[in-house]
Amino acid sequence: MATGTDTSSLAAFVRERPFGIALAVLVAVLFVDLFRKLGAGGITVADLAGFLKDGTVLGLSLGLAGIGLAMTYSILNFANFAHGDYITIGGVAGWIATFLVSGLGSAELESLALLTASSRTLGVSVATAPVAIVVGLLVAVVLTAAMALLIDRLVFRPMRGQRGISLLIASVGVALAVRYLLVFTLQSGPRGLTAGPATPSWDLAVGSGTVTVTAHELTLAALAVALMLGTHVLLRYTTFGTAMRAMADNEDLAQVSGIPTERVIRTTWLLGAGLTGAAGFLIALERGALTTSFGWQLLLLVFAAVILGGIGSVYGAMVGGLVIGLASRLSLVWLPESFIIVAAFVVMIVILLVRPEGLLGGVTTV
């Protein structure tokens, strides 16, 4: 069909990277425009600082929620579409525990267990009910991990070795079943969790305005960073971490060299889902509310973070999360609010086209 003459290697270089070159130009233009806007007073420094703070908080949420996904993605080689609902399970289970601990005796058991009790009356915050929050966090971790193991046993384990697409489809089934069982038991509709007035917050002066930081944002940020560092150390310096990396590289080889693959898979689910549960709990804490589908709504953003960072990399998930979080909030400089998520997805698609191997080069750094 094509009978044209062959092109030179320079043209080939440009042709192979049309997206990359276009992207670099676009980012440069946006940066120039940002400074122009700041100079012309289109947005204030405080606005920008607010966007950056919100973006960082969202980014850390996504990064934390992404570690578990990155781990199972690299070990089991499939995109787990039920991951979002694991986040929801963590949030729901943890917050039921927190409600029970903080409200037992003062409110009806049923309203606590179904999260329908008034958050205003309960007045939960890290300052007023730290014990309840810690208990909730632990319950979130334990229950999410247990559920992930159960689902692995029922659904994914019988399918070991099958193509990634088959597992992906099965995970869509799991996602639907889990989410709508939650709807069946809890009924849909948003639940308020924390009490705004009881939550400490600080107004920081930035330029001519202020940026408000709440204690819950700080809690999420601090715990996210701590958990990510902890996971990194764990995976870097333990036998489990070595075994996991070996399996991510080449499962057959790992199996031949005597690594108990099933046990590594189990530990991966345990650890990954535990972190996911914690992420669900903390995200709900920071937002002060949850729905039965909040994890599902985060899923694509979490995927974006994980893919961006290069699948299988904990730091990558963190970096990817921050890129996605900041990109979506900074988009407010140019776009109306209804495009926050759109902007994040566009960033993901563009980066996938430019660097399908992820920002950190697809090296499993762990």
Partner 1 sequence: MTTPSTDTDEAATSRPAAATEDGTTGAPLLQVRNLRKSFGGITAVDGATFDVDRGTITGLIGPNGAGKSTTFDLVTGVQTPDSGQVIFDGTDTTGWRPHRSANRGLVRTFQIARELDEMTVLENAMLAPRGQLGEQLWRAVLPGVRDEVVKQEERLREQAWETLEFLELDHLAEEYAGGLSGGQRKLLELARVLMLEPEMILLDEPLAGVNPTLETKLLERLHALRDDGYTFLLVEHDMDVIMNHCEPVIVLHQGSVLVEGPPEQVKSDDRVLEAYLGEDV
Partner 2 sequence: MSARLDGPLAAATEWFDGRSDAALLLMLAAGLYALFTLVSLVLGYDLGGIVNTLRRITFLSAIYAMLVLALNLQWGYTGLFNLGVAGFMAIGVYTMGMLSTAPTTSPPGLGLPLPVGIAGGVLAAALVGTVASLPALRLRGDYLAIVTLAFSEIVRLTYRSPVFETFSVGGVSLGTGGSTGMSLPTNPIRMLFYENPQEVTSPPSAFGEAVFGTFEAIGVRAPVVEGTAYAIVLLVFVAGVYGLLRRVGNSPFGRVLKAIREDETVASALGKDTRLFKIKVFALGCGLMGLAAILWRIGGLASTEDFRPITTFYVFVALIIGGAGSNTGSVMGGAVFASLLFEGPNFVRRVATQYFDVGFGQTPNTIFEAVGPLASLDLTPLLAYTLSDVNVSALRLVLLGVVLVYLIQNRPEGLLGHRTETAASVDLGERPGGEER
Minimum CB separation from partner 2 for residue 6, in Å?
Answer: 16
> x/- contact string, 77-116, with partner 2 (CB under 8 A)?
-xx------------------------------x--xx--
- Considering CB distances under 5 to 8 angstroms, the limit depending on partner class, which of partner 1, partner 2, none binds residue 207? none
Contact residue for partner 2 among 158, 200, 207, 230 (CB under 8 A): 158
- Alpha-carbon distance 174 to 180, whole Å? 10
Q: Which residues contact 366 (CB under 8 A, 6 or more apart)?
A: 232, 235, 236, 241, 244, 245, 312, 313, 314
Minimum CB separation from partner 2 for residue 312, in Å?
Answer: 13
- Alpha-carbon distance 364 to 242, whole Å? 11
Minimum CB separation from partner 2 for residue 352, in Å?
Answer: 6
Minimum CB separation from partner 1 for residue 61, in Å?
Answer: 36
Backbone φ, ψ for residue 111 (5° rounding): -70, -30
Decide: residue 333, CB within 10 A, 0-12 exposed, 13-18 middle, 19+ buried.
middle
Token digits for 157? 């384990």
Q: Which DSSP category does 78 fall into?
A: S
- Alpha-carbon distance 101 to 122, whole Å? 11
Closest by CA to 299, choosing from 55, 76, 79, is 79
Instruction: Tell me the window of 157-165, 225-233, 261-269, 323-331 that interacts with partner 2 (CB under 8 A).
Output: 157-165
Comparing CB distances to partner 1, the nearer of 16 and 337 is 16
Minimum CB separation from partner 2 for residue 349, in Å?
Answer: 5
Using CB under 8 A as the criterion, which residues of the chain lie in contact with partner 2 when the complex forms? 1, 78-79, 110, 113-114, 155, 158-159, 164-166, 168-170, 172-181, 183-188, 300, 303-304, 307, 336, 338-339, 341-342, 345-346, 348-349, 352-353, 356
